[in-house]
Chains A and B, each alone.
Chain A
Amino acid sequence: MQTRRETLKHSAIVAGLLATTGLFPQYALAAYNKTAFEAKSLAEVLKAIGAGAPVESKDVTIGGPDIAENGAVVPLTASTVLPGAKQMLILVEKNPAAMIAMFNLTDSVEANVATRAKMGQSSDVYAVVIMADGKVLFAKKEVKVTLGGCGG
């Protein structure tokens, strides 16, 4: 016969196990920067990847719709005209985790990438460019979402 207290305790343990199996084991990959992808804000992301303070720059472009009807598929582009871009990040400020994607560039590709992101709600989106000399430049744009793409 189980008391109410024991039942509660057991369900807490099970919930803990579920959280562990459901959320964490896939982060076992070594090279993957888990901290950066769990960070909640631009500042936290930059700290996690060891980049300095960002400066807004007109040489960096973030492209996306002004109004996204479907938050599950929001086309975003990041580009810069400056030579020597090393990494480019795409972030959505109000998502559960701000970082969408990080691109490591080489000399053989242009600093111009496009992908599609999920957005939970209307938010500022950022394109961040980390230059070879360590400078961190960004551009931001507001995207309004009429139907969220996270949760269900």
Chain B
Amino acid sequence: MADPMRIRAQVAGDKATVRVLMSHEMESGQRKDSAGKIVPAWFIQEVTATHNGKPVLTAEWGPAVSKNPFLQFVIKGAKAGDKIGVTWKDTKGDTRTDEATAS
């Protein structure tokens, strides 16, 4: 199982800026190892963000998103205490979900 995500949701007015830092190798499938073999691609493909359990944003990613990906987005109509959840799924079928409280 992958390491937990770091999620921070900061409320300003009625909007919450959510910053997510995921822990993932994001192997592009372009790199070669010391033996000259291509390192197989392994990256996060799908990301879903929820606000109090309701999906608000989904994303599809390619292998060109950086290692340990960063994602920032803004949720409208959010207030302190709201639950912000983020789920990702990678090319090996691994998934991870983490939740944070907006403040």
Which A positions have Cβ atoms within 8 angstroms of B? Answer: 18, 21-23, 26-27, 29, 31-33, 37, 72-75, 77, 92, 95-97, 99-110, 112-120, 149-152
Most chain A beta-carbon contacts within 10 A, residue among B28, B31, B38, B46: B28
**B 33-47 binary contact with A (CB < 8 Å = 1; else 0):** 000011011100110
Identify which of residues 70-92 in chain B touch chain A, using a CB-to-CB cut-off of 8 Å.
70-77, 89, 91-92
Given A22-B40, A108-B75, A113-B73, residue A151 in contact with residue B31 (CB < 8 A):
yes
Specify the chain B residue showing the minimal Cβ separation from A101: B61
List the A side residues contacting B77 at CB < 8 Å: 108
Interface size of B in residues (CB-CB distance below 8 Å): 42
Given A110-B73, A113-B71, residue A118 in contact with residue B65 (CB < 8 A):
yes
Specify the chain B residue showing the minimal Cβ separation from A149: B66
B32 touches A152 (CB 8 A): yes
Closest 7 CB pairs of A and B: A26-B91, A114-B72, A110-B74, A116-B66, A108-B56, A37-B62, A22-B40
Which B positions have Cβ atoms within 8 angstroms of A? Answer: 15, 26, 28-32, 37-38, 40-42, 45-46, 49, 51, 54-67, 69-77, 89, 91-92
Chain B facing A: main interface SS: strand
List the A side residues contacting B29 at CB < 8 Å: 22-23
